[in-house]
A = this chain, B = another copy of it.
């Protein structure tokens, strides 16, 4: 494998250069959900040790997003903070180490980025330490450790993403900003604001003031909800006369029934979300709306598979002037179906057909919406204190009882 970090880089346009010139930047999709399905990530801890354990799987997924049109390859370092890698019995901190995971993730992203026109973004995300009420210095030290790797590996820019509390996100931005590299930041919040009730507009203002050049949301909600939230951020920034680029990386799941904390609360999370998965046409609609409201960093998060990213690239091909590599294997708006054997499937090779389709679930015994779990706890609640030892049988039993009680109240 080629040396990473110190190696001579091709002269790619930087992230701000692109956005400042009005270019559309297409993000990538969700690694933890995709790699969980492929067999390399454990749902629950969701940590990225696959970068060390199975680099070929991570590499292949990066490559698929690149071919689908991504201009950014985020290092697979979600939840790769040291405190997360040792939370609730996780073996990774001990057996592998956070540093090795972060380094491996950078190497793989860099390697694949050389195969096309994509930048590498080093990513940090919210920490168990913050949730467990550790102080600012302790939390910042966590981010600092990851940043050291990103600087050493010379990533193109930095993303702080998946923060439920703007306070923690601000701390992350402050740390990342020290590197001198451009910083993007996205919260996993909805229109109601962060877990402490701070509205999206004010969150955006705080983050830009802390040094972020790109601000937006990722994860937790579907495209419709995310775009509403980014609109509120945009309005907040305008009111404060602040400038920043906007980004959105929503779920590829329909979540009209979510409340404040998003899809984590849905009873289907994380192993029964299939009926909610976006079609490629849902994504095309999202890409168009995001573009129309002025967002230029458009990507996805959990649930976004390579074909969802391709749908963004195909929808915005007129504006960008080209199709992604993977579109060789996909005729826009289903036109490839003109090669199908059956005549009634060839009859579906057109835009009008797919954009008007209301797809059935094939699940007549299931509802269309769910009541989310609503435990009403956030940072500070005892149940949210994290621990190094595995969750005990007794702790689980108490949770099971509580869940039954609460859902009998909700019904």
- Please give the residue numbers on chain A whose beta carbons come within 8 Å of chain B beta carbons, in ascending order: 36-45, 56-57, 60, 63-64, 67-68, 87-90, 128, 131, 222, 253-257, 264-281, 305-307, 310, 325-326, 328-331, 334, 336-350, 353-354, 356-371, 373, 375, 377, 383-384, 386, 390-391, 395-396, 399-400, 402-403, 406, 411
Contact = CB atoms under 8 A, between A and B. Distances in A.
Nearest to A333: B271
Contact of A356 (B67, B253, B411): B411
Contacts of A273: 359
Contacts of A307: 36-39
A220 to B, nearest CB: 12
A257 B42 contact: no
A400 B347 contact: yes
Q: Can you tell how many copies of this chain the complex includes?
A: 4
A275 B360 contact: yes
A52 to B, nearest CB: 14
Interface core residue of A38, A338, A377 (most chain B CB under 10 Å): A38
Which of A68, A359, A361, A375: most chain B Cβ within 10 A? A361
Contacts of A270: 337, 345
Contacts of A399: 343-344, 346-347
B330 A43 contact: yes
Contact of A360 (B257, B265, B340, B362): B257
Contacts of A340: 44-45, 88
B359 A268 contact: yes
A363 B254 contact: yes
Contacts of A328: 42
Contacts of A390: 338-339
A277 B279 contact: no
A361 B358 contact: no
A147 to B, nearest CB: 22
